[in-house]
Structure 1
Amino acid sequence: MVLAGNMVATPPAGGHRLILGTVAQTRQEVQQREQEAGHHLTGMRVFRRWGEPLFTADQQWAKKTGHVVFLSIKSRRTNGALISWRDIASARRGSPLQKDMLRQAAQIKRFRAVVYVVFNHEPDAKTSRPMGTPADFIAAWRHLVGTYRAAGVRNARYVWTLTGPAFGASAGNGLTRADTYYPGDAYVDDIGADTYNWNTCHSSSGAWQGPAELLEPQRRFGLRHPGKGLMLLEWGTVEDRARPDHKGEWMQNLTRLLATPAYRQYRAVLHWDDRFTKLMAGTTCDFDNRTSAGAQSAWRAMAAAPVFSARSACDIGDCPARRRRSRSAYVLAAVAAATVLAGLVTVGLRRRSVRHVRARPASPVK
């Protein structure tokens, strides 16, 4: 089945496998995290602002060393200025924003490997609301994806990514907040969520939430879109002061949960912390997996778990190269079949002609 984005989704060979990864902008960050995990981490989450080069030597290295790039592009310039979604949606040929999108498309094409593209992750978050309404976001998403496709991008998978709570928050009329931001199945390949167990780090009234409780709203949303993969493009848990071993148990439970048949729709799980971003410096929200010996041990066990053995986009069913080979195979098979059929028809006609000649009475001699 051909999905939006011109790729084929096929069941991953060997059963249910996911990509495990982490936020990492550079080669050094990837290698440091892999050393801590004691294992290869396939997914590399990269954040870019509008106008920045999408790929550097670090992502080229990642491509050559068996890593898969998850690329987030924010509608915010490098100087911090916001770009409204309405302006992106209405950008026409020759306009600066349209030229920007064409340059992005060219960079993705030149990368020549599967790239998971996220336009403005967490549009429902408070920091994104000045950029526009849900309708504006939908229009901008569709225009950006349409521009990429028209420019010949065939190696992108489009991962629509909201905050985890958006999948459970009601928007009325039986819809969730996530529904109000959804661009439609034709423009989305995978459904992503940024999901965290905050406990009391944001508020003293917060509560400990297990993986099943946190993932269930996204899982239910995914069941309404069965042709789409599900992804955790950010996840993390804080420590529990009341139970020192709770963080490690939480990670163990996440690993077991994602290995069950009910979670077969999930394809990628990427851990996030602010070790290199310092976005949450000064808060008690520490998602680093080095916060305790139990967390470190659980992270290493997670990296070695069979369910996280996917080493490429092909392993989770996203393989454009395989699609090209299969198309060629179909063409060759069709040509071969036509040649054989033509040969059989020719032989049949010759035999019929011989039988006809033999059965014809001899012409009278004059």
Structure 2
Amino acid sequence: MVVATTAALSVMTTPASAAPTTYIGVAGDHAGLSRSTGEPLALHSYSRFDRRVPANADMITVKTSAKWSQVAAARPGSALYEQIAQYARGVKALNRTVMVAYHHEPEAGGSRGFGTSQEFVAAYRQVVSIFNSVGATNVEWTWQMTAYSFRVRESDRRAAIHWYPGDAYVDNVSADGYNWGSCDGHSGKWLSFASFTEPVVQFARAHGKKASLGEFGSVAGSQRAQWLRDAHRYVVANRDVISAAFYFQNGSSGAGDTCNWLLQTSAEHDAFGDMARDTSTFRS
């Protein structure tokens, strides 16, 4: 096992002289996966504007229950504006650069009640403007979509291009990508990490931006450890543009959800831990 792991790393690592550029981390059970891999891992936290800023997060995805049109129309002195401004001050107080995403997966079904793509774009831009107004410039603005949105035709309302806030408002093009297998009624086709990440990387390159995976995961299977090693190779090959990858370490959420993404075997923990140990590419 040790010999095989060493051989795999010899293929995937980059020269030691190169500085690590890519966060490798977790969305979900961060403490558990850190223990299982024996490695420190970066943290992606989900938050709301009416909560405290997560102090230790490397990426923060934040939203409010207000509709996008309300966020876009928020003006100084209003409760909503001041709530966002207060959160921005909390991010500023971190005194370090942090990835911040506003309202992830806006095109997905769960966000239909918040408004249109045009209203999302206006709300996103307003959030950026509020952060800038209080001097919270230590933010890498991260636009977090589903990976699927980069693969559908432009005529589809979910297509990423309809939800893009514009180059002036985005530093990092992010997506949530999964190898679903047959869970939740999917086809059962085994999707590689590259198959859903490459369209995101291409979009980022076309706009001169960084790319990231705010969430990624695979259903369980005998090949999942190898799937992770293939993901490792892909990120190394595209380390010039991919700045973060956060594994979605979560089980099923209840009735109607049959997807269990938890890495559980020693082989899977070794494969993911090898990413963190590849310090020529990854940082935590």
TM above 0.5: yes
Going from structure 1 to structure 2, the CA distance change for 1:281 and 1:39 (only over 3 Å counts) comes to farther
Q: CA deviation at 1:263?
A: 4.8
**What secondary structure sits across from 2:144 in the alignment?**
strand
Residue 23 of structure 1 contacts residue 271 of structure 1 at CA under 8 Å; is this kept in 2? yes
1:17 aligns with 2:16: no
Q: CA deviation at 1:159?
A: 0.4
Matches within 5 A, 1:87-102: 87-102=70-85
Task: Tell me the residue number matched to 1:187.
Answer: 169
> Which deviates further from its counterpart, 181-190 or 296-305?
296-305
Q: CA deviation at 1:238?
A: 0.7
Q: CA deviation at 1:16?
A: 5.8
Task: Tell me the residue number matched to 2:117.
Answer: 134
1:44 aligns with 2:43: yes
Residue 248 of structure 1 contacts residue 298 of structure 1 at CA under 8 Å; is this kept in 2? yes
Aligned residue pairs total 268
- What's the RMSD between the two structures over aligned residues? 2.2
Task: Tell me the residue number matched to 1:287.
Answer: 261
Task: Tell me the residue number matched to 2:246.
Answer: 270
Q: Unmatched 5+ residue regions in structure 1?
A: 1-12, 63-67, 77-82, 312-366
| Aligned counterpart for 1:209 among listed residues 191, 205, 211 | 191
> Which deviates further from its counterpart, 211-220 or 122-131?
211-220
Task: Tell me the residue number matched to 2:3.
Answer: none
Residue 20 of structure 1 contacts residue 270 of structure 1 at CA under 8 Å; is this kept in 2? yes
Going from structure 1 to structure 2, the CA distance change for 1:20 and 1:281 (only over 3 Å counts) comes to farther
Residue 109 of structure 1 contacts residue 154 of structure 1 at CA under 8 Å; is this kept in 2? yes
Going from structure 1 to structure 2, the CA distance change for 1:209 and 1:30 (only over 3 Å counts) comes to closer
CA deviations on 1:284-327 (whole Å, 9 max, x unpaired) are 3111111x34322322222222454325xxxxxxxxxxxxxxxx
Larger Rg: 1
Q: CA deviation at 1:279?
A: 2.7
Residue 33 of structure 2 contacts residue 249 of structure 2 at CA under 8 Å; is this kept in 1? no
Task: Tell me the residue number matched to 1:230.
Answer: 211
AA aligned opposite 2:203: F
Q: CA deviation at 1:112?
A: 1.4
Task: Tell me the residue number matched to 1:144.
Answer: 127
1:215 and 1:30 map into 2 onto residues whose CA distance is: 22
CA deviations on 1:334-354 (whole Å, 9 max, x unpaired) are xxxxxxxxxxxxxxxxxxxxx
Going from structure 1 to structure 2, the CA distance change for 1:176 and 1:204 (only over 3 Å counts) comes to closer
1:235 and 1:205 map into 2 onto residues whose CA distance is: 18
Residue 168 of structure 1 contacts residue 176 of structure 1 at CA under 8 Å; is this kept in 2? no
Task: Tell me the residue number matched to 2:7.
Answer: none
| Aligned counterpart for 1:257 among listed residues 234, 242, 262 | 234
Task: Tell me the residue number matched to 2:64.
Answer: 75
Going from structure 1 to structure 2, the CA distance change for 1:233 and 1:30 (only over 3 Å counts) comes to same
Going from structure 1 to structure 2, the CA distance change for 1:198 and 1:139 (only over 3 Å counts) comes to same
Task: Tell me the residue number matched to 2:220.
Answer: 239
Task: Tell me the residue number matched to 2:33.
Answer: 33
TM-score normalised to the size of structure 2?
Answer: 0.87
Aligned-pair identity in percent equals: 27
**What secondary structure sits across from 1:231 in the alignment?**
strand
Q: CA deviation at 1:280?
A: 5.1
**What secondary structure sits across from 1:172 in the alignment?**
coil
| Aligned counterpart for 1:299 among listed residues 268, 272, 279 | 272
1:177 aligns with 2:181: no
Q: CA deviation at 1:281?
A: 6.4
Q: CA deviation at 1:167?
A: 0.7
Residue 45 of structure 2 contacts residue 61 of structure 2 at CA under 8 Å; is this kept in 1? yes
Q: CA deviation at 1:171?
A: 2.3
Residue 162 of structure 1 contacts residue 194 of structure 1 at CA under 8 Å; is this kept in 2? yes
